[in-house]
Structure 1
Amino acid sequence: MPRCAKMGHRVFQAIAMPKLEILVRTPARPRPDSPRLLLVHGICVGAWVWEEHFMPYLADAGFEVHALSLRGHGGSEGRERLNDWRLADYTEDLRQTAAGLADRPLVVIGHSLGGAVLQDWIRTGGNRGGNRGGNSGGQLAGAALLASVPPWGLAYSAWRMLLSAPDLFQQLLRLDGKSAAGLDPAIMRRNLFSDDLPDATYARFMARVHGESRHVGVELQGWRPFAPAPWQAPPMFVLGGGSDRFIGADAVRGTAAYYGVLPTLVPRLAHALMLEPRWEDAAQPLCDWLLRLGERRG
């Protein structure tokens, strides 16, 4: 197991290079025999996106919650090499982090890019249980995809975006590993958030976003397979926002159909759902699924 050094509520996990930032929230009243939760963020951000709402909400429900910053993101090392990283590197970050939590069943929750990383990890052996049957300690008890890159990649979504939100499409083409300085704040706000997002929330968000690996952006189009076969997957939960201009409702429905589950579509919820004014409309059905998952396991 990798060595960990605690620094307040942050844990820096030593897995050679780079070191990964992991935020941890422990419940005041732990739910007996509950799985640990591991949250994986989307492009250009870090584990901090979960810290304000989702982590305390899930901890209050009795779950031990961990949030990973992929290499080059958040407080993890590797920002200077961001354009060098591939999807396989991010998947290795998830693999190493999950290995450090292997003494208990684990549920991984991926948003956007994090959903692609999660699917790639399952495809390459992350689901040690191998099927949807019983899970014992150390196995992947479930996986949740929130506004996730669909199993076939983003090529169709990108084409749809070019027609319906060409300004957002042009902004994303400018992304690279150097910085996010070229992004237009007004365009990003209009396309990633709901209209009633508080100005202060958006200002804090834009102050912390950064660039993203161009290699990963190409891989996410789907030219490089990353999704597991449906029968490889653990119990799955698929949720998206009804107002998401990046991952549309059709992609959410298609992802759910691929994994053989019903989708959860939240009205008036945009892509950056964990920071939205109605973030709880996404957190509540996720939490309900986690509780049902625990009942089935019990």
Structure 2
Amino acid sequence: MESLYPELTGAVLVCSVPPSGNSGLVWRYLFSKPIAAFKVTRSLAAKAFQTSLSLCKETFFSATMEDHLVQRYQELMKESSRMPLFDLRKLNASLPVPSVPKSSIEVLVLGASDDFIVDAEGLSETGRFYGVSPVCVEGVAHDLMLDDSWEKVAKVISSWLNGLNKQNPL
């Protein structure tokens, strides 16, 4: 019987927490950028991004992002973060994630040079895990799909998808 859905050819991981979890990120920040570590913890764990426009901007967006846009997204994120998406205790018990079996699915590991949450080492770890070279988009922050330079990101993804289409024509 033929599937109703097409086979998955590729996946894009966007500013993903590394497969070992966020503890490596936290420890690196604590020792190299203690003030940033405090801000990230306050922003995410205490959900202060919901009430502080400046902290929301610093955590998720580029410094050039207009405040009215940050405020618009802040309201949307506030609504979507009311319920926890998962139980962190259960998640941490499953870390590190087991290696991925060899697959025909191509993976693009995408990061942002101005990411306040996932650092370059975290991006590299994710790339190594999937056996690919990660791509870091310059001048973009963590929420790169909403950031004011989102077009740069869209071009990278579009170019990668076009390459997949050439490798796997329908």
- TM-score, length basis structure 2: 0.81
Within the alignment, does 1:278 sit opposite 2:149 as a pair?
A: yes
Mark the CA change 1:142 to 1:224 in structure 2 (over 3 Å): closer, same or farther: same
Q: Residue 44 of structure 2 aligns to which amino acid in structure 1?
A: L
1:251 Cα deviation (Å)?
Answer: 0.9
State the alpha-carbon separation in 1 of the partners of residues 90 and 138 from structure 2: 30
Please state whether the residue corresponding to 2:87 is helix, strand or coil. helix
Contact 2:56 2:74 in 1 (8 A): no
Contact 1:174 1:183 in 2 (8 A): no
From 159, 174, 185, the equivalent of 2:46 is 174
Mark the CA change 1:284 to 1:252 in structure 2 (over 3 Å): closer, same or farther: same
Note the 1:1-298 alignment, pairs <5 A.
Answer: 103-105=4-6, 139-163=7-31, 164=33, 165=36, 166-175=38-47, 183-210=51-78, 211=81, 212-213=83-84, 215-220=86-91, 222-225=92-95, 227=97, 229-233=99-103, 234-298=105-169
1:146 Cα deviation (Å)?
Answer: 0.7
Larger helix fraction of residues: 2
1:170 Cα deviation (Å)?
Answer: 2.1
Cα root mean square deviation, aligned:
2.3
Mark the CA change 1:216 to 1:280 in structure 2 (over 3 Å): closer, same or farther: farther
Please state whether the residue corresponding to 2:101 is helix, strand or coil. helix
- TM-score, length basis structure 1: 0.48
Unaligned runs of 5+ in 2: none
Per-residue deviation, residues 96-148 of structure 1 (Å, max 9, x unmatched): xxxxxx6242xxxxxxxxxxxxxxxxxxxxxxxxxxxxxxxxx2211110101
State the alpha-carbon separation in 2 of the partners of residues 286 and 297 from structure 1: 16
Mark the CA change 1:288 to 1:168 in structure 2 (over 3 Å): closer, same or farther: same
* Number of positions where the alignment pairs a residue of Structure 1 with one of Structure 2: 159
Please state whether the residue corresponding to 1:230 is helix, strand or coil. coil
Q: Residue 149 of structure 2 aligns to which amino acid in structure 1?
A: R
Mark the CA change 1:191 to 1:246 in structure 2 (over 3 Å): closer, same or farther: same
Structure 1 segments of 4+ aligned residues over 3 angstroms from their partners: 180-183, 214-220, 225-228
Please state whether the residue corresponding to 2:63 is helix, strand or coil. coil
Larger strand fraction of residues: 1
Please state whether the residue corresponding to 1:167 is helix, strand or coil. helix
Sequence identity of aligned pairs in percent? Answer: 28
Contact 1:161 1:168 in 2 (8 A): no
Please state whether the residue corresponding to 2:41 is helix, strand or coil. helix
Higher RCO (C-alpha under 8 Å, 6+ residues apart): 2
Contact 1:161 1:246 in 2 (8 A): no
